[in-house]
Amino acid sequence: MEQEKIFESDTAIVTGGSRGIGWAVAGQLAARGARVLLVGRNVERLERRVHELNQKFPQQAVGFACDMADQPASSQQIVNFALKTIGKPTLLLNGAGGASVTHALDAPWTLWMDDFHVKFFGYLAMARAVLPIMREQRRGVIVNLVGIAGKDPNPALAIASAVNGALNGVMKVLADDVSADGVRIVNVNPGATQTDLLTAMAKVSAKESGKNIEEIIDQMRARSPLKRLPGPMDIARIVIFLMSSDADYVTGTSIDVDGGIHRGV
């Protein structure tokens, strides 16, 4: 069924856009009329994804390959490329960056620095790069894929717990700063989601525990009150709603999409 073109006047940047949740969001945005800039590290995969989108939605997608650890330079390069290709961005999904499986004292200092550079500083730099443009237009939505460990710290995800907690704080502050200019900022906190990232994380856990990957993922599934794990589209549908005018009174908050696994209220 053809989707209603609710984003026909929008231009969207999607970091982490060549796979997982970012890819699912990019497809939903294009299907609803947005021009989309996909950002990723892997040039070959990025080119395939852009071609795939343009096959379905001609001339709606472009790609930009870069390393999100190089901040703030890479974020400014992304926004400059967007201005030359798809126009002034009105939507941003911050989705680049993973979650290293490690305890706080086991992680080398370089890993702490690398993960903060890619995700915390990557998200912050992207927001700082697009917000002046959004404020000038008096419209815009930023959705950040953060993660439930920011609210429910996980000893095995020590760095992600710190990064995500910091993002919850700084994005609330930014949302307050720009709300009067017609710009909204919302965090989405997925739990374990069936993506390549989850498989990579399960592989590390399996190696440490002596179990196989399937056992690790089955344990994650069993811990969910819904007894299943979401796919990328389960998260993407929430992101699309939050970017739409149906959610135009939602800003400065974090939405958990974790099947109820977080025990807080």
Residue 208's pLDDT is what?
77
* Mean pLDDT in residue range 146-158: 92
Q: Homologous superfamily of 11-191+232-248 in CATH?
A: NAD(P)-binding Rossmann-like Domain (3.40.50.720)
Please give the model's pTM, rounded to 2 decimal places. 0.93
Say if residue 1's pLDDT is above 70: no
Per-domain residue ranges for the chain?
11-191+232-248, 194-229
| Amino acid letter for position 208 | E
Determine which of 22-31, 46-55, 153-162, 223-232 has the lowest per-residue pLDDT on average.
223-232
Residue 192's pLDDT is what?
84
Say if residue 110's pLDDT is above 80: yes
Residue 112's pLDDT is what?
97
Question: For residues 263 and 254, what is the distance between their CA atoms, to the nearest angstrom?
Answer: 15
Q: Encode the chain in three state secondary structure.
A: CCCCCCCCCCEEEEECCCCHHHHHHHHHHHHCCCEEEEEECCHHHHHHHHHHHHHHCCCCEEEEECCCCCCCHHHHHHHHHHHHHCCCCCEEEECCCCCCCECCCCCCHHHHHHHHHHHHHHHHHHHHHHHHHHHHHCCEEEEEECCHHHCCCCCCEHHHHHHHHHHHHHHHHHHHHHHHHCEEEEEEEECCCCCHHHHHHHHHHHHHHCCCHHHHHHHHHHHCCCCCCCCHHHHHHHHHHHHCHHHCCCCCEEEEECCCCCCCC
Say if residue 104's pLDDT is above 70: yes
Average pLDDT over the chain, rounded to an integer: 93
48-52, 154-158, 201-205: which has the highest mean pLDDT?
48-52
The pair of three-digit structure tokens given for residue 137, joined into one six-digit string: 């237009």
State what percent of residues in the chain have pLDDT above 90: 76
Say if residue 2's pLDDT is above 80: no
Residue 44 neighbours by CB under 8 Å, 6+ apart: none
Per residue in 189-231, pLDDT (tens digit) is 998 888 877 777 778 787 777 888 888 888 888 888 888 888 9
State what percent of residues in the chain have pLDDT above 70: 99
Whether the CB-CB separation of 143 and 86 falls below 8 Å is answered with: no
Per residue in 225-252, pLDDT (tens digit) is 888 888 999 999 999 999 999 999 999 9
* Mean pLDDT in residue range 61-83: 96
List the beta bridge partners of residue 62: 37
Determine which of 19-33, 45-59, 189-203 has the lowest per-residue pLDDT on average.
189-203
Whether the CB-CB separation of 229 and 192 falls below 8 Å is answered with: yes
Provide the pLDDT confidence category of residue 97 given band limits of 50, 70 and 90.
confident
List the beta bridge partners of residue 61: 36
* Mean pLDDT in residue range 68-74: 94
Q: Which of 201, 113, 204, 197 lies closest to 162, judged by CA? A: 113
